[in-house]
Amino acid sequence: MTFLYLFYEFFKIGLFAVGGGPATIPFLQDLARSDYGWFNEDQLSVMVAVAESTPGPIGVNMATYAGYNAGFLEYGTWGGILGGVIATLGLVTPSVIVIIIIAGFLKAFKENQYVKGAFSGIRPVVTALVLFAVFGIIKPIFYVDGEFVLPVIAISVIVFALMFVKKLKKLHPAFWLALGAVAGIILKL
Protein backbone atom coordinates (compact mmCIF):
# COMPACT_ATOMS: atom_id res chain seq x y z
CA MET A 1 0.00 0.00 0.00
CA THR A 2 2.96 2.33 0.68
CA PHE A 3 3.88 2.20 -3.00
CA LEU A 4 0.42 3.27 -4.13
CA TYR A 5 0.49 6.22 -1.72
CA LEU A 6 4.01 7.09 -2.88
CA PHE A 7 2.93 7.22 -6.50
CA TYR A 8 -0.20 9.22 -5.63
CA GLU A 9 1.61 11.79 -3.46
CA PHE A 10 4.43 12.33 -5.93
CA PHE A 11 1.99 12.43 -8.84
CA LYS A 12 0.26 15.34 -7.05
CA ILE A 13 3.61 17.03 -6.49
CA GLY A 14 4.53 16.59 -10.15
CA LEU A 15 1.15 17.94 -11.21
CA PHE A 16 1.31 21.14 -9.16
CA ALA A 17 5.03 21.90 -8.72
CA VAL A 18 5.26 24.33 -11.62
CA GLY A 19 8.72 25.80 -12.07
CA GLY A 20 11.10 22.89 -11.70
CA GLY A 21 12.72 20.99 -8.87
CA PRO A 22 12.93 23.73 -6.22
CA ALA A 23 9.17 24.22 -6.56
CA THR A 24 8.72 20.70 -5.17
CA ILE A 25 10.17 21.74 -1.81
CA PRO A 26 6.96 23.28 -0.34
CA PHE A 27 5.09 20.10 -1.24
CA LEU A 28 7.80 17.97 0.35
CA GLN A 29 7.57 20.12 3.47
CA ASP A 30 3.87 19.20 3.64
CA LEU A 31 4.77 15.52 3.23
CA ALA A 32 7.33 15.86 6.03
CA ARG A 33 4.52 17.05 8.32
CA SER A 34 2.11 14.33 7.16
CA ASP A 35 1.14 11.14 8.98
CA TYR A 36 3.02 8.95 6.50
CA GLY A 37 6.26 9.23 8.50
CA TRP A 38 8.43 8.79 5.40
CA PHE A 39 10.74 11.62 6.47
CA ASN A 40 10.68 14.66 8.76
CA GLU A 41 11.62 18.30 8.25
CA ASP A 42 15.19 17.78 9.47
CA GLN A 43 15.63 14.95 6.97
CA LEU A 44 14.24 17.25 4.26
CA SER A 45 17.29 19.50 4.66
CA VAL A 46 19.51 16.45 4.11
CA MET A 47 17.38 15.45 1.10
CA VAL A 48 17.85 18.87 -0.47
CA ALA A 49 21.62 18.75 0.14
CA VAL A 50 21.90 15.26 -1.38
CA ALA A 51 19.63 16.16 -4.30
CA GLU A 52 21.63 19.32 -5.04
CA SER A 53 24.98 17.55 -4.86
CA THR A 54 24.09 14.58 -7.07
CA PRO A 55 23.71 14.64 -10.86
CA GLY A 56 20.24 15.14 -12.26
CA PRO A 57 17.22 17.34 -11.67
CA ILE A 58 16.71 18.27 -8.02
CA GLY A 59 13.00 17.38 -7.99
CA VAL A 60 13.64 13.93 -9.43
CA ASN A 61 16.54 13.37 -7.04
CA MET A 62 14.39 14.35 -4.05
CA ALA A 63 11.54 12.11 -5.18
CA THR A 64 13.95 9.20 -5.57
CA TYR A 65 15.50 9.87 -2.15
CA ALA A 66 12.12 10.21 -0.41
CA GLY A 67 10.71 7.16 -2.18
CA TYR A 68 13.74 5.09 -1.25
CA ASN A 69 13.43 6.23 2.37
CA ALA A 70 9.72 5.37 2.49
CA GLY A 71 10.12 1.96 0.85
CA PHE A 72 13.17 1.11 2.95
CA LEU A 73 11.38 1.91 6.21
CA GLU A 74 8.68 -0.62 5.44
CA TYR A 75 10.32 -3.26 3.25
CA GLY A 76 14.12 -2.95 3.52
CA THR A 77 16.64 -2.37 0.74
CA TRP A 78 14.64 -3.76 -2.19
CA GLY A 79 11.57 -1.92 -0.97
CA GLY A 80 13.66 1.23 -0.89
CA ILE A 81 14.80 0.78 -4.46
CA LEU A 82 11.25 0.10 -5.63
CA GLY A 83 9.98 3.06 -3.59
CA GLY A 84 12.54 5.35 -5.23
CA VAL A 85 11.50 4.22 -8.70
CA ILE A 86 7.77 4.55 -7.93
CA ALA A 87 8.08 8.03 -6.37
CA THR A 88 10.17 9.19 -9.33
CA LEU A 89 7.64 7.81 -11.82
CA GLY A 90 4.85 9.50 -9.87
CA LEU A 91 6.67 12.82 -10.04
CA VAL A 92 7.42 12.77 -13.78
CA THR A 93 4.17 11.19 -15.05
CA PRO A 94 2.11 14.44 -14.96
CA SER A 95 4.83 16.27 -16.92
CA VAL A 96 4.94 13.56 -19.56
CA ILE A 97 1.14 13.63 -19.92
CA VAL A 98 1.01 17.44 -20.10
CA ILE A 99 3.90 17.61 -22.60
CA ILE A 100 2.22 15.08 -24.88
CA ILE A 101 -1.07 17.00 -24.78
CA ILE A 102 0.47 20.46 -25.20
CA ALA A 103 2.90 19.38 -27.92
CA GLY A 104 -0.08 18.85 -30.22
CA PHE A 105 -1.46 22.31 -29.56
CA LEU A 106 1.78 24.26 -29.07
CA LYS A 107 1.50 26.45 -32.15
CA ALA A 108 -2.04 27.50 -31.31
CA PHE A 109 -1.16 28.43 -27.73
CA LYS A 110 2.26 29.93 -28.38
CA GLU A 111 1.04 33.46 -29.13
CA ASN A 112 -2.21 33.35 -27.17
CA GLN A 113 -2.44 36.42 -24.92
CA TYR A 114 -4.26 34.51 -22.17
CA VAL A 115 -1.60 31.80 -22.03
CA LYS A 116 1.16 34.44 -21.97
CA GLY A 117 -0.70 36.29 -19.23
CA ALA A 118 -1.22 33.13 -17.19
CA PHE A 119 2.48 32.28 -17.29
CA SER A 120 3.41 35.86 -16.47
CA GLY A 121 1.27 35.52 -13.32
CA ILE A 122 2.51 32.04 -12.44
CA ARG A 123 6.25 32.91 -12.54
CA PRO A 124 6.22 35.29 -9.53
CA VAL A 125 4.08 32.85 -7.54
CA VAL A 126 6.59 30.06 -8.22
CA THR A 127 9.36 32.42 -7.13
CA ALA A 128 7.51 33.13 -3.87
CA LEU A 129 6.96 29.39 -3.27
CA VAL A 130 10.65 28.68 -3.80
CA LEU A 131 11.73 31.55 -1.51
CA PHE A 132 9.32 30.36 1.19
CA ALA A 133 10.77 26.86 0.90
CA VAL A 134 14.32 28.24 1.08
CA PHE A 135 13.51 30.01 4.34
CA GLY A 136 12.02 26.77 5.66
CA ILE A 137 15.25 24.94 4.85
CA ILE A 138 17.51 27.69 6.18
CA LYS A 139 15.91 27.90 9.62
CA PRO A 140 16.94 24.46 10.97
CA ILE A 141 20.44 24.98 9.57
CA PHE A 142 21.06 28.49 10.93
CA TYR A 143 18.96 28.35 14.09
CA VAL A 144 19.45 25.27 16.29
CA ASP A 145 18.10 24.77 19.81
CA GLY A 146 17.02 28.41 20.08
CA GLU A 147 20.40 29.80 19.05
CA PHE A 148 21.91 31.06 15.83
CA VAL A 149 24.85 28.95 14.63
CA LEU A 150 27.23 31.78 13.74
CA PRO A 151 29.94 29.69 11.99
CA VAL A 152 27.33 28.19 9.67
CA ILE A 153 25.90 31.62 8.91
CA ALA A 154 29.43 32.96 8.31
CA ILE A 155 30.28 30.13 5.89
CA SER A 156 27.05 30.73 3.98
CA VAL A 157 27.58 34.49 3.71
CA ILE A 158 31.24 34.14 2.69
CA VAL A 159 30.54 31.51 0.03
CA PHE A 160 27.54 33.49 -1.27
CA ALA A 161 29.73 36.62 -1.58
CA LEU A 162 32.57 34.69 -3.24
CA MET A 163 30.18 33.36 -5.87
CA PHE A 164 29.80 36.93 -7.16
CA VAL A 165 33.56 37.33 -7.75
CA LYS A 166 34.03 37.23 -11.52
CA LYS A 167 36.83 34.62 -11.57
CA LEU A 168 35.11 32.40 -8.98
CA LYS A 169 31.70 32.57 -10.63
CA LYS A 170 32.72 29.90 -13.13
CA LEU A 171 33.70 27.32 -10.51
CA HIS A 172 31.68 24.12 -10.48
CA PRO A 173 29.15 23.69 -7.63
CA ALA A 174 31.14 20.64 -6.49
CA PHE A 175 33.97 23.02 -5.55
CA TRP A 176 31.67 24.98 -3.24
CA LEU A 177 30.31 21.78 -1.70
CA ALA A 178 33.84 20.51 -1.08
CA LEU A 179 34.81 23.88 0.42
CA GLY A 180 31.81 23.68 2.77
CA ALA A 181 32.69 20.13 3.76
CA VAL A 182 36.27 21.14 4.57
CA ALA A 183 35.08 24.17 6.55
CA GLY A 184 32.62 21.97 8.49
CA ILE A 185 35.38 19.49 9.34
CA ILE A 186 37.83 22.21 10.39
CA LEU A 187 35.24 24.06 12.48
CA LYS A 188 33.82 20.76 13.85
CA LEU A 189 30.25 21.72 12.98
pLDDT tens sequence for the chain (189 residues): 789 999 999 999 998 887 777 788 888 888 888 888 888 888 888 888 888 888 888 888 888 988 998 899 888 889 999 999 999 999 999 989 988 887 777 667 777 888 888 888 988 998 998 898 888 888 888 888 888 889 999 999 999 999 899 888 888 888 888 888 898 899 887
| DSSP 8-state symbol, 108 | H
Give pLDDT, residue 119. Answer: 81
What local confidence, expressed as pLDDT, does residue 161 receive?
92
* Dist CA 171 CA 166 (whole Å): 10
Give pLDDT, residue 106: 64
Handedness of CA 15, 17, 20, 26 (dihedral sign): negative
Q: Domain map of the chain by residue range?
A: 2-142, 149-189
How far is it, in rounded angstroms, from Cα 184 to Cα 178?
10
Q: What gap in Å lies between CA 164 and CA 19, rounded to an integer?
A: 24
Q: CB neighbours of 80 closer than 8 A, spacing ≥ 6?
A: 67, 68, 69, 71, 72
Question: DSSP class of residue 111?
Answer: T
| Predicted local confidence at residue 107, as pLDDT | 66
Query: Using CA atoms, how far apart are residues 39 and 34, in angstroms rounded to an integer?
Result: 9
Q: Are strands 143-144 and 147-148 parallel, antiparallel or unpaired?
A: antiparallel
